[in-house]
A = this chain, B = another copy of it.
């Protein structure tokens, strides 16, 4: 797939393969498919991650860092606090307009693993907490009167955008959400 994937060790190759296949094929993707995509021996998966559950959790722990970094960069720089948050929805518009966008990875994983004890759920919870904290931080920088409340509103708009983008991607839900986000910021 890329040069890094070919030279990296089996652990890294497995993480990359699982990151891709879990997203494109869903949580029901089989272990054999992951091994084939990663070009890794079956035993290596269980040595490094203990099993499929551990691999899934490890993937989410990694993508959480990546996705948080994406949100940070999507906020732009130098703009006003208000412009930063609005710019986020411009980047979301690009994201969900991509042909292979398939919705929020963390929601899909939560729905795929019905068992509440699955280690993936702890990772998705932590991810959402970090997203929320990021929004609160920006709203406080903006001097918003109710940063926690506004963060929940923005979070709902983001999640709604991702769902609409996954199910009706011919529209532009991020633009629709951006208008409402502007109301939140000024409220």
Contact = CB atoms under 8 A, between A and B. Distances in A.
A149 interface: yes
Contacts of A124: 167
A contact residues, range: 35 or more
A156 B128 contact: no
Q: How many copies does the complex hold?
A: 2
Interface of A is mostly: helix
A107 B26 CA distance: 13
A138 interface: no
A153 interface: yes
Contact of A159 (B26, B153, B160): B160
B163 A26 contact: no
A183 interface: yes
A103 to B, nearest CB: 7
A160 to B, nearest CB: 3
B26 A114 contact: yes
A167 B28 contact: no
A171 B157 contact: no
A152 B128 contact: no
Contact of A179 (B103, B128, B153, B158): B153
Given A26-B111, A176-B149, A184-B180, A168 B103 contact: no
A108 interface: yes
Contacts of A159: 159-160, 163-164
Contacts of A28: 28, 112, 114
Interface centre among A24, A107, A156 (most CB of B within 10 A): A156
Interface of A: 24-26, 28, 103-104, 107-108, 110-112, 114, 124, 128, 149, 152-153, 155-161, 163-164, 166-168, 171, 173, 176-177, 179-180, 183-184
